[in-house]
């Protein structure tokens, strides 16, 4: 009689697959897996904090820019304000001032005291 070849035991294979499936389901309880999930949450929180910080820094940068522009206009107007404060004769033109909004020189502010007195 020919030697019998070993035959597969499908019941044992099915049981082994069930055991494997149960063990794989337990993987999330492994400390390294829990630590990885915790790190993912931490990275998500750090990302949210980074976005908040970038937004806040953008706001601060905008406000600093506005403050710099305002300060520059004030500095540009100081000589004209000093000069205009000393003008006493009605026929002398006042020095023009820079606009606090645009920073541009406003030539319409270069008027005499007489013209200023006659404005509505």
For residues 27-44, average pLDDT: 90
pLDDT of residue 43: 97
Q: For residue 5, tell me if it sits in a domain.
A: no
Residue 1 has pLDDT above 70, yes or no: no
Residue 2 has pLDDT above 80, yes or no: no
Query: Quick one: which of 86, 87, 116, 83 has its CA closest to 97?
Result: 83
pLDDT tens sequence across 63-114 = 999 999 999 999 999 999 999 999 998 889 999 999 988 889 998 888 888 8
Q: For residue 3, tell me if it sits in a domain.
A: no
Phi–psi pair at 15, nearest 5 degrees: -60, -40
Task: Report yes or no: 93 and 110 within 8 Å, Cβ to Cβ.
Answer: yes
Residue 61 has pLDDT above 90, yes or no: yes
The count of other CB atoms within 10 Å of the CB of residue 40 is: 10
Q: For residue 98, tell me if it sits in a domain.
A: yes
Residues in the chain: 120
pLDDT tens sequence across 11-26 = 999 999 999 999 999 9
- What's the number of domains the chain is made of? 1
pLDDT of residue 83: 94
Q: What is the pTM of this model?
A: 0.52
Task: Report yes or no: 107 and 95 within 8 Å, Cβ to Cβ.
Answer: no
Q: For residue 2, tell me if it sits in a domain.
A: no
Domain coverage including residue 78: 10-117
Q: For residue 96, tell me if it sits in a domain.
A: yes
């Amino acid at each position: 009689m020919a030697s019998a070849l070993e035959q597969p035991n499908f019941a044992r294979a099915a049981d082994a697959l069930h055991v494997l499936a149960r063990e794989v389901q337990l993987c999330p309880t492994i400390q390294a897996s829990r630590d990885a999930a915790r790190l993912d949450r931490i990275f998500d929180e750090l990302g949210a904090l980074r976005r908040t910080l970038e937004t806040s820094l953008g706001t601060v940068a905008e406000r600093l820019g506005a403050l710099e522009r305002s300060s520059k206009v004030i500095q540009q107007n100081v000589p004209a304000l000093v000069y205009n404060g000393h003008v006493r004769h009605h026929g002398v033109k006042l020095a023009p001032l820079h606009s606090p909004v645009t920073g541009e020189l406003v030539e319409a502010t270069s008027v005499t005291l007489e013209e200023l007195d006659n404005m509505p």
